[in-house]
Amino acid sequence: MGGGKGNFGGISKAFRSKVQKISSNLPKNPNTLIKKGWIEKTDIRNLSANRDFENSNGLKLHFDKEIKGAPGFRGKDHYHLYNPNTKNDGDLYLDQFGNSVAKGSKASHLLPKNQRRKK
């Protein structure tokens, strides 16, 4: 994704734009991703409601189903977009702008478009 003039921290403007488009259009129902060309990569042995997807560009997306009554993000459907250049848990995910962020960080939790945080 990286290096070269016009890039930010090794991530190109074009890549950031793709990430922003993905993160701003995440559906409430993850089955919609399949209709948009994402490929389901969920391990069939995983019986939880969490799911994994990959698009044609190799970007990987993880969906966490809400746990009714749980606090914080555990109580909301949300996604995580994996950083393709990750080195460790400190940069495992991408935020809505394409910046690398740590596992467990608030910014790593991407909400479906109908559940956006109010600014």
| pLDDT of amino acid 1 | 41
Q: What is the mean pLDDT of residues 82-100?
A: 95
pLDDT digits (tens, 9 = 90+) for 46-90: 767 799 999 998 999 999 999 899 999 999 999 999 999 999 999
CB environment 87-115: b (16+ within 10 A), e (fewer):
eeeeebbbbbebbbbeeeeeebbbbbeee
pLDDT digits (tens, 9 = 90+) for 26-36: 999 999 999 99
3-state secondary structure of 11: strand
The answer to whether the CB of 108 falls within 8 A of the CB of 95 is: yes
3-state secondary structure of 49: coil
